[in-house]
Homo-oligomer: A and B are copies of this chain.
């Protein structure tokens, strides 16, 4: 029975309203004993309401609700998941199901709004009031839920170090030797809690009272400053200059490039008021600056002599995502650089795209000791409005997920035609040449990737080139028997070493706090990720040496006081070792798969996959759908234990295995044209 007819049979008036709010009807099956009859939960909510399964579990007081499979839906509702709607409910289901009703629907009813109900085959518009009245008229248990509020509660909980989630963390994930001040869960067993602990206890970041925004503390900001210096030096040599464009964009300008804005529109934050004055025109906060900058490029570029124009800015952008935020990886405001260049020729532009991509790889590999794979995005995954997108892709071994590391786009002439960025042809012909443009961006997400890659159950591990302090000097072996004279000598020795290392350009500090013992200090500085602990005690004093202990693997070195200039070299060696280990992890988990039967099992072993592929968008979508766990609930991405999502194409790596003669696509069996890297991803 089509939706319209069902509704008609329910005597609900059908109206037409282009402002009607989208809704969703979802069926969840809670985890139940194998022999018990499940009580499905029907959720009716506004489409925009975020309804993560962990909240549903909490509200309906059930275990691990997952989106129900079609056979269950057929049993209870006599239809499929694609055709389910509230029209499929009747009093026959009394005591057999529960209904969760989004409070936003009730709000909509109070505001006399209309709702749009869609199934795969039908669409109907009804007044929210009639729907609410109808649902309440049923004899089925109905729970009204304020998801907004619950979501707040969930975030609040997350903020607290003693959150319910952490308290409930599986006993098995708890670390046996966990210290109170340190990390209490195992990276490999409860990655999500581990990550929250590492970023906060390692003092990289703090949670903030505006959801999705975080404080970058000095330890993480120094990483960013180091990247800025490194990257600035290189782009300036290419002739790129830094500038600053306003954070505000007028609606007219923001919406000028339709394809482009479509992806950002739902996430744009709008300023509508200043003091007590309503603004006549609402003003957006930039989600990115193409449309902010390009009208001025059109103004400034008047002749081919004004090309190339290469500007970069370091700023923050705002994308008001409604998905679950995650420190560094998905935040509503984030810091980045965005480069925007205009060239006379396609060749010059395309050359730059790859130069910048090399710099991005350099940031990861040379500063953060994180390996990446360079490649090109598929048509599906490229930047909307551009011609092609190059990318550096990283890998988080603990979760087996890929992560996009930074992208450099060739925009072709799409924007230049839209904004009329054009010059006379210098070769004298009459036609105007539209500029060839690039844009490229790298964000503070890199810091998250770095943390996830290197850090461990003792806390942060900072790669030496970006560590706030590369060495901490800790006096050891001082006991109650140590004479005042010797204490003084140790202390002076420590300060002397600090001074000498500073002169060598090492970022160093000493921990002379006398209220803590060395063991406590060791743990404290390990938590904060300082690459080298330098121990100095009476024995070291006697033999004129220090003991250096590497954060990542506890490796020890003995260095003579007259050979302190070895320390910078040892820091470089640590960098190389961190990189080598991470590279091995990535390489070991990037698995060549040629047959579809091996695809999902390989994926489920926390790998990304390199497969021969036909290059078609539809096949790519099919791979994604077919590799998703269909019986999982609505995915809430922070939940590392439920990698329900399908494998996206991550990139077509520049470095390709040889494609065999007649090699077929891993999925559709058509002729393969390239190897493509697929994986679950952040």
Contact = CB atoms under 8 A, between A and B. Distances in A.
A253 interface: yes
A272 interface: yes
A268 interface: yes
Contacts of A273: 269-270, 272, 282
A268 B272 contact: no
A428 B150 CA distance: 45
B244 A215 contact: yes
A654 interface: no
A48 B277 contact: yes
Given A210-B250, A296-B215, A333-B246, A271 B271 contact: yes
Contact of A242 (B206, B218, B265, B276): B218
A486 interface: no
A557 interface: no
B241 A218 contact: yes
| Interface SS, A side | mixed
B272 A272 contact: yes
Given A216-B243, A246-B214, A333-B248, A275 B267 contact: yes
Interface in A212-268: 213-218, 221-222, 224-225, 241-250, 252-253, 265-268
Contact of A215 (B148, B246, B274): B246
Contacts of A318: 247
A274 B269 contact: yes
A466 B218 CA distance: 27
Interface in A82-100: none
Contact of A210 (B249, B265, B332): B249
Contacts of A283: 210
Nearest to A48: B277
Nearest to A305: B513
Contacts of A248: 210, 213, 332-333
B246 A213 contact: yes
Nearest to A244: B216
Nearest to A277: B48
A268 B274 contact: yes
Interface residues of A, number: 62
A38 interface: no
A250 B224 CA distance: 26
Contact of A268 (B247, B275, B295, B335): B275
A249 to B, nearest CB: 7
Contacts of A333: 246-248
Given A267-B274, A320-B274, A217 B243 contact: yes
Contacts of A270: 271-274
A311 interface: yes
Interface in A480-516: 513, 515
Contact of A468 (B214, B241, B335): B241
Contact of A243 (B221, B244, B513, B515): B221
A542 to B, nearest CB: 30
A316 interface: yes
A285 interface: yes
Nearest to A209: B250
B296 A246 contact: no
A252 B208 CA distance: 13
B242 A225 contact: yes
A280 interface: yes
A270 to B, nearest CB: 4
Interface string A128-159: 00000000000000000000100000000000
Contacts of A296: 206, 215
A218 B265 contact: no
Contacts of A213: 246, 248
21 contacts: A148-B280, A208-B245, A210-B248, A210-B249, A210-B250, A213-B246, A215-B246, A221-B244, A222-B241, A246-B333, A247-B316, A248-B333, A266-B275, A266-B276, A267-B275, A268-B275, A269-B271, A269-B274, A270-B271, A270-B273, A271-B272
Given A206-B300, A216-B245, A218-B242, 11 more contacts: A206-B296, A206-B299, A215-B243, A216-B244, A221-B242, A221-B243, A248-B333, A267-B275, A268-B274, A269-B274, A315-B316
